[in-house]
Structure 1
């Protein structure tokens, strides 16, 4: 049975998915769900983040193998994590059954100003400048990536605790930014089914990046009308149900008719 691998973005880790895996199960995803951490984050916060996406992919693959997981995988990935998913499916197509890409971009298809919106630059600089004043830094991250504010104080407390227990370094954050900026992605569409999800109100990555990617690959694109960059935070129920419906439809199309 395939496992779903969840991959987060820049300096985020498996605990930042919060209760999203529970929503996936409630939506009908029955396979095992594994939240994997990138090098430099989460369980691997003491590791040096690679300056390239391919090395990050290799790290994640090796750790999953060492932990006893085996392909084929289904991957749900956000932002930087989605670049890892694309690289993985491109270089090891036999290992990836399908992928869901959330608010990501490729240098091959989008401009630098689309991939990292200029209005976000001052806030990113503020986060880097307040790196060790963590609650203040997390408040800036929240304003930049989330549109749901009803859980603001609870989120800041949880995110600050996550940082204090496994603190990613500012140097690793810069290396991850560098790796993301350099990632061009494949020139041809991936061999596996791809669902591309975009937040129309993403203040970090312009949703045009997802539109261009879907057009280039002939992939399914679904846009959320009001969520920010952190779609799993802002509307986890919609996200889980959208993914489950896409998987169900794909399997229904692939299955032979009854009595065939």
Structure 2
């Protein structure tokens, strides 16, 4: 059975995957999915978020060792989680067999104005500076990251925020970790698939295109989904991963 590690992005937790884990397992019955929270998020919201992506890798490895879940791993990750996946594969190539990187952005391949599109600066600053209500915060994040109807998802995300709130300090620490992370110029040994969305309003699709071009790895583009691709079209993600694995099977 293949072990898949799922990692979410900034301030998001395991339960933000929603129905996607089930959709993935249905497409690949042989897969064992292990979703992990990064420190500061979800059930780990009382912990301090590391200021370095490499420390997040250490957390993941330690957590899996404690659960006796042994490598090699396949990692499916988005945004900040994808940076963790890359750092992991680079530092411990014997542990990561494959990476699926979703709507991520990394130095040195993309400039800051593509990694966080300028159209969002005002909305995000308003949330932080005016100490926005939970509903205003989640509604804004959904509007920026999803092409789905906000009212369909908002109640569930508000419930997650009430149960396991992420502190503003931890959100800032995660931003710092993401901003300072620098990917290796040469692709890690792990087989790599990059998935991205043409209509991503948060991170420019050019970031994924640049990464795939520099690393000469597979790239698949969704024409209409937003930044949270597993939320907007989970079955498409699962189908792309399955097709990629089939094409590259020895």
Same fold (TM > 0.5): yes
CA offset digits 1:210-255 (Å, max 9, x no partner):
011101111000110011100011111111111111112222xx1x
Take 1:15 and 1:120, find their aligned partners in 2: how far apart are those partners? 25
Contact 1:29 1:244 in 2 (8 A): no
Matched, 1:46 2:46: yes
Take 1:32 and 1:130, find their aligned partners in 2: how far apart are those partners? 42
In the other structure, the counterpart of 1:258 is none
Structure 2 gap ranges (5+): none
Matched, 1:69 2:63: no
In the other structure, the counterpart of 1:17 is 17
CA offset digits 1:15-52 (Å, max 9, x no partner):
00001011112212422101100010012111100111
Take 2:55 and 2:158, find their aligned partners in 1: how far apart are those partners? 28
Map 1:175-190 to 2 at 5 A: 175-190=173-188
Deviation at 1:130? 5.8
CA offset digits 1:63-121 (Å, max 9, x no partner):
12112211100000000000000000000000001010000011111101111111111
Secondary structure at the counterpart of residue 237 of structure 2: helix
In the other structure, the counterpart of 1:232 is 230
Take 2:136 and 2:217, find their aligned partners in 1: how far apart are those partners? 39
Contact 1:4 1:33 in 2 (8 A): yes
CA offset digits 1:153-204 (Å, max 9, x no partner):
2311100111111111111001111111111111111101100011111111
Aligned structure 1 segments of 4 or more residues deviating by more than 6 angstroms: none
Secondary structure at the counterpart of residue 137 of structure 2: helix
Structure 1 gap ranges (5+): 255-260
Name the CA shift for 1:240/1:197 in 2 (closer, same or farther; >3 Å).
same
Take 1:131 and 1:242, find their aligned partners in 2: how far apart are those partners? 39
Matched, 1:146 2:146: yes
Contact 1:7 1:36 in 2 (8 A): yes
Select the residue among 238, 241, 245 that pairs with 2:243: 245
- My pick for the range that moved more, 119-128 or 180-189, is 119-128
Deviation at 1:132? 6.1
Contact 1:117 1:206 in 2 (8 A): yes
- My pick for the range that moved more, 97-106 or 23-32, is 23-32
In the other structure, the counterpart of 2:216 is 218
Take 1:233 and 1:31, find their aligned partners in 2: how far apart are those partners? 20
Contact 1:196 1:210 in 2 (8 A): yes
In the other structure, the counterpart of 2:172 is 174
Take 1:130 and 1:161, find their aligned partners in 2: how far apart are those partners? 22
